[in-house]
Each structure stands twice: as C-alpha cells, then as structure tokens.
Copies of this chain bind each other. A is one copy, B any other.
C-alpha cells in the first residue's frame, strides 16, 4: 500500500478538485512525547511499532498559509528556500500526494518558532499545520482523526500535532493504517509546565528516521522496548487521570532514558547526548534528590524538556538559564 492510496481512500471524490478558498491557513502546535514513538512497522506509511502519548506545546509550533502560485515555493520564517533544499523537497513530495503534478503550484509560507531538526519535533508541527492548511484551502472538512492519519504520512509524530492537550496515538493493526491515528485525552492539567532547555540549535547529524531504523535493525535491546511502552502508557494514563505528577514525571523520564538506551545498543551506537546534556541531567537528578519535583524527557536531539508544576516555576527558571517555559493548558 502506498501513501497515495491512503489519500484517495480518505479524500475520495474531494481529491483533485480546485481550491475553494483563496488561502488556506492553519496553526499546529509541536508536541513532546511522554511515551515515545520509536520504530516503524511500515516505513512507507509511518506506521509505528507501538502506541505513544504526547503533550502539545500550545503556542510553540508552526503557522502555515498556503495559496496557489505560479511556481512551487516555500518561505520559512520569511526566507525563501531554494527549490533543491532538503526541506522544500520533502515538503513538496508530501504536497504531491494531493495534486496532479504540473496542474497547480503553491506558495507555502511557514512561521515556526522552534529550531528545525533539533529534536523539538519541528517536522511534527510542520506537516500537521500543512495538512490543516490544505484542509482549509480546499474546504475538505476532514475530521481530526482523518487529519491525523494524513499528517502521519508526512511524519509519524505529526499525527499527534493536530490538537492541543494530551494526545494518544493508537498503534493500530491494519496494514493500511486507518486505525493508526491520534486522539485527544479529555483532561486538562493547568498546573503542568514544560521547560525547554535548548542546549544546542545545530541540525542533528543523524535523522530520527535513520536512527529509528538502525535501532530496529541492530539494537540488541530493542526487542524489550514494546513491553516497556505498554507499561508506561498505562502508567501515564493513570497519572493523567489522577493528576499524579510524580508518576507522570517518573514514567516520562524513564521512558525517554530507555528509548535512548535502545539506541546505545545499536551498531554503530547512536548517542544524541552532548556533554551539556549530561550535565543538565545530573543537575535535574541532584535537585530531585534535594526534594524538587522535577523530571525531564529527551527526544532525538541533545535538548532536554523539563517537566514540573507551576508552584515550582520560579525556582526552576532561577536554576536553569535560558529555559523557555510552556504551559500547555494556559
């Protein structure tokens, strides 16, 4: 099964019609997985080996506007990209799923307030905002479930960036992935804070796609990963339902450490940690030993995301220089 088959299946006779609106606009928040997505069972459709659970980051994300243009063009944060840039190519390969080639061209204007490719899920909010903007442009009136499936075709974690709040991406069983979509967990937690510790803004040397694949193929500890995810998903749901912050924090941190551990067991080993990552982890552990309710999670990059409650906001900001605090339920 190909991506285009999934698109046809969802859009049916709405595919290849003309845009209904002059401009399609949308915003999608980036998201941070508390239980990680690590490993694909289907590379073409970005179908995952396990379910995952994330929190959307409110105003950290990407705003997109799409309009018909004489040529294909991407403007990223006010800079026109060359057509042969990797980002532009990847984006229009995705757009191609929704148009007959040479029939129509687009200008895509993206305003993103997160560093690209630094393990901050820039592609998650990127593809999610693009599919939402296309949905607006064409007035397809897709459901969040359908948007989530289509966003996944661009990037797995994009399926979790359609809505705000806690989100669970269901692993699904079907070969066509129609049951592998993300769903809002109906629970707000206004005290919850996320602190972005951006330690390095460079592009990562190895993409998550490549790291994931190498881990599945050579990671000797990867076989134990799905069982870990099953346990953590259940603990996280319980933590969210019962507002148990210690359980949420502990489970999230342990899940992230374990994902990185599966990568260290690959050959060649994959390490996204920089020395400053290690120093920051050790600082979190020390503060926690001293009684602070502070945890972290880490994605495919050197940056850490702190988890804490609003009551400790002042202290955390004092302790961590340059931390950028997001309140997902503001």
Q: How far is the CB of A229 from chain B (nearest CB, A)?
A: 9
Instruction: Assess the A221–B281 pair: CB atoms within 8 A.
Output: no
Q: Does A260 have its Cβ within 8 Å of any Cβ on chain B?
A: yes
- Bound Cα distance from A271 to B258, whole angstroms: 12
Residues of chain B within 8 A of A221, CB atoms compared: 221, 224-225, 228, 258, 261-262, 265
Instruction: Assess the B264–A274 pair: CB atoms within 8 A.
Output: no
Residues of chain B within 8 A of A257, CB atoms compared: 264-265, 269
Instruction: Assess the A258–B265 pair: CB atoms within 8 A.
Output: yes
- Bound Cα distance from A250 to B257, whole angstroms: 24
Q: Does A273 have its Cβ within 8 Å of any Cβ on chain B?
A: yes
CB contact between A271 and one of B227, B253, B267, B281 (< 8 Å): that residue = B281
Give residues of chain A (152-168) contacting chain B, Cβ–Cβ below 8 Å: none
Q: Does A190 have its Cβ within 8 Å of any Cβ on chain B?
A: no
Q: Does A285 have its Cβ within 8 Å of any Cβ on chain B?
A: yes
Sort chain A's interface into a size bin: 20 to 34
Copies of this protein in the complex = 2
Instruction: Assess the B278–A274 pair: CB atoms within 8 A.
Output: yes
A215-253 CB mask vs B (1 if < 8 Å, else 0) is 000001111110110010000000000000000001001
Instruction: Assess the A258–B224 pair: CB atoms within 8 A.
Output: no
Residues of chain B within 8 A of A254, CB atoms compared: 220, 265, 267, 269
A188-232 CB mask vs B (1 if < 8 Å, else 0) is 000000000000000000000000000000001111110110010
- Bound Cα distance from A279 to B250, whole angstroms: 28
Question: A227-B220, A231-B220, A262-B261 are known contacts. Are A278 and B273 too (CB-CB below 8 A)?
Answer: yes
Please name the residue on chain B nearest to A279 by beta carbon. B275
Q: Does A83 have its Cβ within 8 Å of any Cβ on chain B?
A: no
Q: Does A268 have its Cβ within 8 Å of any Cβ on chain B?
A: yes
- Bound Cα distance from A268 to B288, whole angstroms: 11
- Bound Cα distance from A232 to B260, whole angstroms: 21
Instruction: Assess the B220–A228 pair: CB atoms within 8 A.
Output: yes
A contact set with B: CB distance below 8 Å: 220-225, 227-228, 231, 250, 253-254, 257-258, 260-265, 267-269, 271, 273-276, 278-279, 281-282, 285
